[in-house]
Chain A
């Protein structure tokens, strides 16, 4: 079945460091891909998305490119801040099954 695999956390970085969180997927057809962020004690918020191959989603300095050839959607940010500390979820949505499937989440901790 369809699935999403994320790198295990936690990821601990110093402020202004470069961030990469890996995400790969398995899906039939051509899914839409998403990154969601969960701040402590809250629900999830959409961070960015891409709906077709080679699309790049971006928001708040974060970027991810839909790579069909490697079935990946890695999240990157050039310079992280303490306020970026959160749990990040990669997700896919396939039209056939009409449901949203999430990866396990990756906790990011940024310290000053």
Chain B
């Protein structure tokens, strides 16, 4: 069966520090992968999506970047975090008929 792992579950980082969130998928090949952010009291914003290794589409200009070094690995990064980067980050992969989400990472930048 397909499984998606996302870690860490929670993270508190100081302003200006780097960030690396990792997401891996099991049980499928060549999935479409997504990073979403859900800021407090707001909806779900698509940050990046990837249709294959090394193929990243950025949906909004921001302080973050994404990479896909392997077929089932998707990494969200930042060189220097901002206060506004705080939020709930969700990794997902989808088929034509359904998307599967990780448990999310709650990031607090202090």
Contacts and interface: CB of A to CB of B under 8 A. Distances in A.
B62 interface: no
A70 interface: no
Contacts of A6: 43
Contacts of A49: 97-98
Contacts, number: 56
A16 B76 CA distance: 42
B51 A98 contact: yes
Nearest to B49: A99
Contacts of A44: 44, 90, 92, 99, 101
B42 to A, nearest CB: 7
A98 B6 CA distance: 22
Given A44-B90, A98-B51, A99-B32, A32 B96 contact: yes
A2 B101 CA distance: 21
Interface in A71-105: 89, 91, 93, 95, 98-105
B37 to A, nearest CB: 11
Contacts of A42: 103-104
Please indicate which of the listed interface residues A91, A93, A95, A101 has the most CB atoms of chain B within 10 Å of its own CB.
A93
Contact of A43 (B43, B98, B103): B103
Contacts of B101: 43-45
Nearest to B42: A104
B97 A100 contact: no
Interface of B: 6, 32, 34, 36, 38, 42-44, 46, 49, 51, 57, 90, 92, 94, 96-99, 101-104
